[in-house]
Chains A and B, each alone.
Chain A
Amino acid sequence: MLEVTKLGKSFSGFVAVGDVSFTVETQQIAAVIGPNGAGKSTLFNLITGHLPPDSGSVVLDGRDITGIQPHKICGLGLGRSFQRTNIFPRLTVFENVQAAYLVHRGRGRDFWSRAESFYRDETAVLLASIGLQGRESTVAGTLSYGNQKQLELGLALASDPALLLLDEPTAGMSASETHDTIALIEKIASERALTLLFTEHDMEVVFQIAQKIAVLHQGRLIADGDPAEVRADPEVRRVYLGEH
């Protein structure tokens, strides 16, 4: 589903991501972990076109998407959420998701119809599936942090992605919010047969749901395998799991 080959990016001499290769199989749940500054977000930005890579390639479903613009990548079935919550704060919850549908279904060029009448049912169904039913007319920026994260997931899902990239989906959440969010993500991934690639700092979450884990350290990939392999890897234990 996703094939990253020898991807590299430096910022004025500092290697943020160096020579990283890994693959994610269709319907797999994969995680990228690593300490702060390991290059996880840069790696995501390289995959989704927010940053042009210096070297290497990204192939989505057999198609080379290296360095093409984010809105095109989005149209090819890759959805993402951001580490800092990224929604349309002054639109309502309903308008947020509906706007994503309008764009994805190619309605954006229609300058004469009334926007509010489109995709009402789809939006309602999606909002219910992410647990935001009843909040339709709330202004998105006034939602609680956890609800905003849910809404952002909704924005990503409205474009019907096959592969979903989630950058720290539980960052800043309490233990119970984290638990609910992970349950929600798992449920949606299986309902929609999604392939999932996420970064996460909470090791418990990672080892609970990931079928495959890639470990980044100082921009390099130091391990890549199933959770048991990664847990047993001496290098990972040394630099990351805090054992000497």
Chain B
Amino acid sequence: MKNLAARVPWTLVVFLLALTIPWLGGRYYTFLATQIVIYALFALSLNLLLGVTGLVSFGHVAYFGIGAYFCGILMKTLGVPFFIAFPAAGLGTGLFALVFGYFCVRLTKIYFAMLTLAFSQIVWAICFKWNDVTGGDQGLPDVPFPDLHWIASLPGFSHFRIGDQFYFLALVLVMLCVAALRRLQSSPFGRVLTTIRENRERAAFVGVNVRRYELAAFTVAGIFAGFSGALFGIFNRGVFADYVFWSKSADVMIMTILGGMNHFWGPAVGAAVLTILNQQITSYTEYWPFVLGTILVLLLFVFPGGIMGALDAGWTRLRHRRSNA
């Protein structure tokens, strides 16, 4: 059975299922799905550090924010079309991650975490104050939508509004990024990153240049966070300083742990569950943080492997029972 599960091209299956949402649901569901897709990429990019390399970054939001501003400034201020601004935002963010990461990987454990947090607060302060470029506390409203009218000319897509069109675009771009991340994690490079997570000392003494690999992972994670931020800015029709605020680093970390950082799809599942719960529960009660806290406590004590870890364990138990029967 396990072989069967391994042979399913999950990226493709997830993509096809997600593609049907604008047909099945209304505008609200498409809106929610867009948000989930973007956050899923953000959480997956964090997990390259957290779950794969074993680096706890408290400042991952910096790269989400830089990507959002990069793309927003290019498109709004400079009038650059989306298909150039989007890749440029990712690469530009990667450059920032490379520079910040150069200093961060010199430290380990809590000191590494604190330095990533410090850099993200510096980025936030600059975004908040540099009025001429970032719009300061007013942010950058009215980032233009990419020109997606061509989607309406595809057969079967003619009745979709601009929100649905953007969802299709975001879904395709995120899925390409996810496929690349998945490939990366099962490559020799990805395997080396896991040896650092498992045992830095031993990794160094099979010949791994630990800092250099950590810097590479940090940069790649920054690039993909930048892509997700770029999409988020357009999705929200504007880029604002609170995208870079440190509490968002905690949100994305909660998504990753909730979904399960030992499983490739865990962070994406966490992003979906947390986004949906947030929407549902805030419509009943204003005590969402209380509910979230309770969920987290339960999770850490009952399912330390997150949702995917719990599903995995349940599946294994089921198979055992069946083979014993």
- Point out residues on A near B: beta carbons under 8 Å: 48, 50, 69-71, 74-75, 79-80, 82, 86-91, 95, 98-100, 102-104, 107-116, 118, 155-156, 158-159
Contacts and interface: CB of A to CB of B under 8 A. Distances in A.
Contact of B206 (A95, A104, A107, A116): A104
Interface string B175-203: 00000000110111111101100110111
A94 B204 CA distance: 19
B196 to A, nearest CB: 9
B206 A103 contact: yes
Contacts of B183: 111-112
A95 B192 CA distance: 10
Interface string B31-63: 000000000000000000000000000000000
Contacts of B282: none
Contact of B186 (A98, A107, A114, A158): A114
User: Size range of the interface on B?
Assistant: 20 to 34
B195 A91 contact: yes
A71 B187 CA distance: 21
Contacts of A75: 207
B210 interface: yes
B208 interface: yes
Contact of B201 (A86, A98, A111, A118): A86
A90 B207 contact: no
B284 interface: no
B181 to A, nearest CB: 10
B202 A82 contact: yes
B190 A91 contact: no
Given A88-B199, A90-B198, A111 B189 contact: yes
Top 9 A-B pairs, shortest CB-CB distance? A88-B198, A111-B189, A100-B206, A115-B191, A74-B207, A108-B192, A86-B202, A70-B204, A107-B188
Contact of B207 (A89, A91, A104, A116): A104
Nearest to A98: B191
A158 B209 CA distance: 16
29 contacts: A71-B210, A74-B204, A74-B207, A75-B207, A79-B205, A80-B205, A82-B202, A86-B199, A87-B199, A87-B202, A88-B198, A88-B202, A88-B203, A90-B198, A91-B194, A91-B195, A98-B191, A99-B192, A102-B191, A103-B195, A103-B207, A107-B188, A108-B189, A109-B189, A112-B183, A113-B188, A114-B187, A115-B191, A155-B202
Given A111-B190, A115-B186, A82 B201 contact: yes
B210 to A, nearest CB: 7
Contacts of A108: 188-189, 192, 208, 213
Contacts of B204: 69-71, 74
Interface of B: 183-184, 186-192, 194-195, 198-199, 201-210, 213
Contacts of A69: 204, 209
A86 to B, nearest CB: 4
Nearest to B262: A90
Contacts of A91: 194-195, 198
Nearest to A103: B207
For B191, B194, B206, the residue with the greatest tally of chain A CB atoms inside 10 Å of its CB is B206
Nearest to B201: A86
B201 A99 contact: no
Nearest to B192: A108
B188 A158 contact: no
Nearest to A97: B206
Contacts of B208: 71, 103, 108
Contacts of A158: 206
Given A71-B207, A71-B208, A159-B207, A89 B199 contact: yes
Given A71-B205, A114-B187, A116-B186, 10 more contacts: A50-B201, A86-B201, A86-B202, A88-B202, A99-B192, A99-B195, A104-B206, A104-B207, A111-B187, A112-B183
A115 B209 CA distance: 18
B223 to A, nearest CB: 12
A160 B186 CA distance: 25
B191 to A, nearest CB: 4
Nearest to A110: B188
B169 to A, nearest CB: 25
B131 to A, nearest CB: 40
Contacts of A87: 198-199, 202
A113 B192 contact: no
A116 B199 CA distance: 20
A103 B192 contact: yes
Contact of A118 (B188, B207, B209, B210): B188
A95 B284 CA distance: 49
For B187, B190, B191, the residue with the greatest tally of chain A CB atoms inside 10 Å of its CB is B191
Contacts of B184: 111-112
B316 to A, nearest CB: 13
